Amino acid sequence: MTAIDFHGLIPAIAVPFRPDHSVDAADLARFAAWLGRQKGVVAMMTNGHTGEVFSLTPRERAEVTRITAAATRGICPVISSVVCEGIGDAVEQAGWAKAAGAAALDVMPPHHWLRFGFRRRHVIAYFTAIGEATGLPLVVHVYPAWTKASFPSELLAELAQLPFVAAFKIGTREMNKYARDLAAIRAVAPHKALLTCHDEYLLASMVQGVDGALVGFASLVPGLIADLLAAVKAGDLARAQAIQARIDPLKEAVYGAGEPTGEAHACMKAAMEAAGILASGRVRPPTEAPSAAELARIRAAVAAAGIAVTREAA
């Protein structure tokens, strides 16, 4: 399999749009190159929920990966999410992502599983088909425990033993199951990378013994999250708590008391615009832009955090 280091910070990147809602290729390339050079970043991921993947056509998803991979060549590798409903479609789109420059693939559960659930052999067949067709390392995208697409801990352990599965993007969001999931994977495959994707409670999920973080929030505050991960790995809880305290006001402005959603991603893009990271925080319909009150709160949080960068630096 292609060599890629999953032990560190992997931002799931946002995608800038022009006024006509087409992908802003120039700003995406500039942003990706800037983000890839931030401390602690070992890779980045395209076509995640942060990247508004469900608003992108399959061809646009491949193009986003192509632009990002070209902009970060020699800087860091790119992982592309595969978001499909059937095995044939997944194999085809995974091939497009590989041709576009993806060094690994994040595999989301087919979304009809959210409605109807799945059988164990469905999951094994899906991952096996993508892994065998592409030869790329796969990241298992673990959905929240409250969804019908949540994988039991025993199934995660079985996936961990597949040769092409290299890492797990774990968003269980129920801490008892999260601990069981980590333990089940570690027991059978201690070398496979465990990555938190709990944007809204980073410190609490990192201290469970993960190897890294694959989070959309790192599009906005890569440095703070890299520092937090480093402090946790060093066992410096006091420093980790202090860094999390700096993150919290921004987290509240973006996510409030909830989980990441389309509108939360819109709030994050507004924060990225306010910080000078993106030229525009525009989102694609039906996702809605933040209200005037939300924008005021976001801009105040960005100003107080002191995370603004110049357009030249970004």
Measured over the CA atoms of residue 195, residue 197, residue 202 and residue 204, the dihedral's sign is negative
Task: Identify whether 155 is part of a domain.
Answer: yes
3-state secondary structure the chain: CCCCCCCCEEEECCCCECCCCCECHHHHHHHHHHHHCCCCECCEEECCCCCCHHHCCHHHHHHHHHHHHHHCCCCCCEEEEECCCCHHHHHHHHHHHHHHCCCEEEECCCCHHHHHCCCHHHHHHHHHHHHHHHCCCEEEEECCCCCCCCCCHHHHHHHHCCCCEEEEEECCCCHHHHHHHHHHHHHHCCCCEEEECCHHHHHHHHCCCCCEEEEHHHHCCHHHHHHHHHHHHCCCHHHHHHHHHHHHHHHHHHHCCCCCCHHHHHHHHHHHHHCCCCCCCCCCCCCCCCCHHHHHHHHHHHHHHCCCCCCCCC
Q: What is the rounded average pLDDT of the residues 73-101?
A: 97
Residue 263 lies in a domain: no
User: Which CATH number does the domain housing residue 202 bear?
Assistant: 3.20.20.70
Domain interval for residue 132? 9-256
Mean pLDDT along residues 181-190: 98
Residue 273 covered by a domain = no
Residue range 273-283, pLDDT digits in tens: 999 999 999 99
The reply to whether 3 falls in a domain is: no
Q: Read off the pLDDT of each residue in 23-50 and give the average, rounded to a whole number.
A: 97
Please give the pLDDT value at position 74.
95
Q: Within a domain: residue 131? A: yes
Given a cut of 90, is residue 161 above it in pLDDT?
yes
Domain count for the chain, please give it. 1
Give the pLDDT of residue 253. 93
Domain assignment present for 211: yes
User: Does residue 300 belong to any structural domain of this protein?
Assistant: no
pLDDT over 80 (residue 1)? no
pLDDT value of residue 310: 63
